[in-house]
Amino acid sequence: MHAFSLGTRRITDSWLNTPVSQAEVSNWLSTVARLSRQSALAASDDLTRPPGFSTALSSAVFGEARADTLLNNADVEYLLSFRDAVDIPARNRPDVAWLVRDGFLPLFADATLRPREQMTRARVIHVIARILESRGTLALQKGTTRPTTGGALILRSTKNRDLPIAVSADAYLFRAFGESAYQTRTLTLVGGEPIIFHVNSRGEADYLEVRPAPNGAAADRSSPYANWMATMSVAEVQGRLSRWSSGIGSLTDLRVAARGSSRRAIDLAIIGTSGTAHLRGGRIRSALGLREQLFVIDRKYDDSGRLVAFTFTGRGWGHGVGLCQIGAYGLARQGLTYDKILKAYYTGIDLTKMY
């Protein structure tokens, strides 16, 4: 992004949502042409609106008139079937059709392109970034952050190598929320986050786009047992619970009737055709053969709507009333001393020397 002369402090909502100027688009497309190793951008009088911008962008990326050569009139008319396509000048129609078809130039939510409206900076930058990224021109790399101490950034590359990365002081930092990424002033990394980054000519990362780590940020995230899932048929569940559910008839459902302060199940309602029974306390885990009582229940039905199985999705492996060994290890990796780790699990305590 530095190649496009976009300062990190300039990228604000108000700046992005303001109509782009002719000079800005011209400068950005000249950079696109240089990155794509094409000749200098040809002058145009209509770079700020979708039709003229599309033709100029196509020229900057491909050089020759690709869309006009490879799309015939039938293709163009077929692709430009949205509401206001009639407002696109004939000379620009193949280029717009090409970019719309490949998803680089998206329509608005009302299925219009608004060819006569001046584009915002955000829309122009978005289209340019999409097409350059698809062609590998931006030289973006992918990796996964590693747990580190001392503030260093270590990335696990796609080749399973750990790479220390220096981050530029004026790097662009983005945090992904859902399908979109948003600029932020700081990034907090715990290890395990998927990351897209760009390294400049000085060997520094000047662009970081981070997605949340799938295992979250808790100290036990490094454990392969932190998250688990178990699926059992209705007959299997009823068999395991038969000792505590006599007289309820055929099993029709399971419900967590109550949870304790740690959100663990402490009362499981066993619902049948002839009544309901309750299983309470630590017996829930042992009776069902689950690792933990910190779980939720999903149900699977057949094509006729009949319940056929239960899936228990949970977290942890233990009784849930003491210190997690993996969690303690994770806190130690974060730099916490033994006394702070103990007080993290056992609140309100004092450590005293007994000898």
pLDDT in tens, 266-313: 999 999 999 999 999 999 999 999 999 999 999 999 999 999 999 999
User: Which position has the token pair 């992005």?
Assistant: 16
Pick from 152, 67, 59, 148: nearest CA to 101: 67
User: Which position has the token pair 């770079």?
Assistant: 47
Question: Where do you find CATH 2.40.50 in the chain?
Answer: 141-210
The mean of the pLDDT values for the chain is 87
Mention the CATH class of domain 141-210. mainly beta
Summarised one tens digit per residue, pLDDT across range 64-108 is: 888 989 999 999 999 999 999 999 999 999 999 999 999 999 999
- In this prediction, residue 316 carries a pLDDT of 82
| Spacing of C-alpha 333 from chain mean position | 25
Alpha helix (H) ranges present in 248-322? 283-288
In whole angstroms, give the CA distance from residue 113 to residue 111: 7
Q: Which uninterrupted H or E stretch holds 326?
A: helix 325-333
Lowest mean pLDDT among 280-294, 315-329, 339-353: 315-329
Summarised one tens digit per residue, pLDDT across range 155-196 is: 887 778 888 888 888 888 889 888 778 888 888 887 788 998
In whole angstroms, give the CA distance from residue 336 to residue 330: 9
In whole angstroms, give the CA distance from residue 33 to residue 322: 62
Helix, strand, coil proportions of the chain in percent (round to 5)?
30, 25, 45
- In this prediction, residue 131 carries a pLDDT of 94
